[in-house]
Structures are given as structure tokens and as C-alpha cells.
Structure 1
Amino acid sequence: MKRSDMVAEAAITLLAERGMRGLTHRAVDEAAGLPPGSTSNLARTRAALLELALARLTALEEHALAPAISGGPPSREELPDVLAEAVHVQVNDRRRTLARYELALEATRRPELRAIYDRAGRRFRDPAVALLAAVGSRDPVRHARQVVAFGEGMMFDAIAGAGAVPTRTELREAMRELLSGMLDLPPAALP
């Protein structure tokens, strides 16, 4: 693993375990098992360290979500399964999702991080627009925003809220119910 990836991985873990206040260059060196000063040599400032962590996190999420969204556009009937699987992947990687929440909150206070965070987010939102357009959404941009917000709410409730972690079946049915109004989906045949 490249040193920059080691540093970014350690930063992601620290963000998830200790929050933003626990993310220091020294703590990253220790968590990554690197000599003191290694993180500072790679990412001089806190902003640079946050950018490095966000870039790695984005790459990890793209890799994790690839199986759920690869294989061409799904049919209307398959779309709830595809979207449910994407949420399921995120809910079940608590470390990655908690770190993303920490970075999202920090981005509200740092305009330079906000710009990077928003660019990274488009890498996930744009495919959602394309998926909904492919299945005939009358307003794919608005519908994608609603689907993403719904998925984010499910993830937040399971990871940081008071809710239980939903099963794939629960996520699939929730997505089907949401999409049925947008796309006029037929009722599901429950397994």
C-alpha cells in the first residue's frame, strides 16, 4: 500500500473512532505505524490531511458501490434492489460512513473542503440521475435528489441515529415504496 493510502486509511479510521477532534498528524502517524512527522511530510496542513482522507474515502466508496451499480442500467423492477444494495453496502461499513459524516460536517465550516466534498458527491449523484432517467423518471434530477436523501436518511438512522440496521429486504421494500410514486412501479411480490 502506498504511504499516502496508509495515511488516508489511518485518518479515516481516526475520524470514525475519535471524530474530527481526534484527527491530528501525530495520531495518524501512530495509527498508521509510521515514524513521527511522516503525515506532516505528506499533508502539511490539516486541510491537506482532510483532502487526502476525503479522496481516499471517495475511492473506497466507489469501489464498494461498483458491484451494486455495474452491469448497465437496471429495469424499473430491478432498480429498488440496486438502490437497496447500495444503501446496504454503506450501512454495513460503519467506519467509512462515520468518517464521511465527520467530513460532511467539517465541510460546512471549511469552504475549500465543501468544494471538494461536493465534487466527490457528484460522482455518486450523477449516476443516480442517469439510473432514474434510464427507467423513465419524468424528473430524474429531482427524483435522484430524493432517492439520495432517502438513502442518506436510512444510513444516518442506522449508524448515528436510534434505528436498527435495516435488512436488505427492508431496504428493498422501502426503496420500492419510494420509487413506486416516482415511477409508477407495480406492487412487489414479497419473497
Structure 2
Amino acid sequence: MTTSTSDRRGLIVDSAIDLIAAQGLRSLTHRALDTALELPAGSTSYYFRTRRALIEGMVDRIATRSRTDFAARPPEMDERDPDRLAHGIAGWLDRLLAQRRNDLIARHALIIELLGDAELHAKLVGCLFSHRHATGLFETLGATEPATAAADFIAVIEGLIFDRFAGARVALAPGTAQSVRQLAAVLAVQLRAAI
């Protein structure tokens, strides 16, 4: 059975994301990916000539998955009641933590790596919860300063996610009622404070 070019590229990108999540950004090399995927030496560099090309592939993959996840968000994320809205967003974030943990970890590592690359950095920063969507949310909720409220809310979401995979709450397993409650409690405070 042969693998198409797009399938092979996708496999390499997914493996690169998993490699970063497990071993950190320093582990990301073409050779390490060839080894992890049991490909002939030089295969990864055939599909991604440079490290930047490989990173760009990961950024595109993470951003695409994020857009897909956001498009499939639960209806509670469109609520106007702060508590129900917080619970909906918490459930969505909890699902991301359970199903896309490696993407979230790689995303944070890459955000730091790409501070000097305005294009790719902006793509990653805006892909979890975009400022445009957050501003629209706070306009709908009647916030007096929707853009500021949106930026603050995104900062809280980023902190919650980081806390759950690398901070004080790494032991709190996603996919549990306790996990959703913890996320919802913090989000509800932030939502109520902004309106």
C-alpha cells in the first residue's frame, strides 16, 4: 500500500506535534521524525526542506484543527447568561484538553519559538479563541469595553489551558465533571466582571 504525499506530510506533521509535546521543541529534527516514523533517512526533509517549513506545517495543522473545533462548538457557547456561557466554554476547553492535549502543548511551545515571526506567531496566537470572536461575544453581552474584555478573557483562557497541562493543576484529569467545574468557575467570574 502506498501513502499519498498529502497523507505522508500529514503523518509527519502529526508526529512532529507529538514529538514536541512529549520531548520539547529541542527534540524536533528531521532525523528524529524519520526515526519515530520508521522512515528512510532523509524522508522528512524531502517533504519539508527546512525546519521552518516543518514548523509552518505544524502551525497550519493546529490552526485548521482549532477552526474546526470552534465551528463545532456547543450551543451553550452562544448563550447570553454568563453562567451557562461559562459552562459551555468550559466544556469545550475540557474536550480540547482531553482530545488535543498534544496540539495545545506544541502550540504553546511554538508561540514562544515564533516570537520573531510575526505571521506564524499571529496565526497561532489567534487560533484557540480569536480576538474577533471574543470581542463579538462581549459586544453581545453588553460589555462597556468589549475589545478589552475580549483580550482579558483570552488571557484567562490561555492561562487556564497552560495551568492544566503544565501548571499547578496537571493532576486534574480532563473529561471529568470536576474538570469542567473548575474551568467554568474561573470563566464565570471573568464573564460577570466584564459586563
Q: Would the TM-score normalized by the shorter structure come out above 0.5?
A: yes
TM-score range, shorter chain: 0.7 to 0.9
Number of equivalenced pairs: 180
- 85-94 or 97-106, which moves further after superposition? 85-94
Cα distance in structure 1, aligned partners of 2:63 and 2:112: 16
Trace 1:17-166 onto structure 2 (pairs within 5 A): 17-68=22-73, 73-77=78-82, 78-92=84-98, 93-108=100-115, 111-112=116-117, 114-123=118-127, 124-125=129-130, 126-163=132-169, 164-165=171-172
Question: 5+ residue gaps in structure 2?
Answer: 1-5, 173-177
Identity of aligned residues (%): 29
What's the TM-score, normalizing by structure 1?
0.83
Change (3 A) 1:70 1:46: farther
Cα distance in structure 2, aligned partners of 1:159 and 1:73: 26
Cross-structure match for 2:15: 10
Moved over 4 A (4+): 69-72
SS, match of residue 167 in structure 1: helix
Verify the 8 A CA contact 1:25 1:37 in the aligned structure 2.
yes
Cα distance in structure 1, aligned partners of 2:76 and 2:36: 37
Verify the 8 A CA contact 1:65 1:89 in the aligned structure 2.
no
Verify the 8 A CA contact 1:64 1:89 in the aligned structure 2.
no
Cross-structure match for 1:186: none
Cα distance in structure 2, aligned partners of 1:168 and 1:101: 21
2:178 aligned with 1:178:
no
SS, match of residue 2 in structure 1: helix
Verify the 8 A CA contact 1:16 1:99 in the aligned structure 2.
yes
Question: 5+ residue gaps in structure 1?
Answer: 184-191
Cα distance in structure 1, aligned partners of 2:77 and 2:70: 14
Verify the 8 A CA contact 2:86 2:187 in the aligned structure 1.
yes
- 50-59 or 157-166, which moves further after superposition? 157-166
Verify the 8 A CA contact 1:74 1:131 in the aligned structure 2.
no
Superposed CA RMSD = 2.2
Verify the 8 A CA contact 1:29 1:36 in the aligned structure 2.
yes
Cα distance in structure 2, aligned partners of 1:71 and 1:172: 12
What's the TM-score, normalizing by structure 2?
0.81
Cα distance in structure 2, aligned partners of 1:32 and 1:16: 16
Q: Deviations over 1:78-132 (max 9, x none)?
A: 3212321232233333211111111011112xx23x4212134334322222222
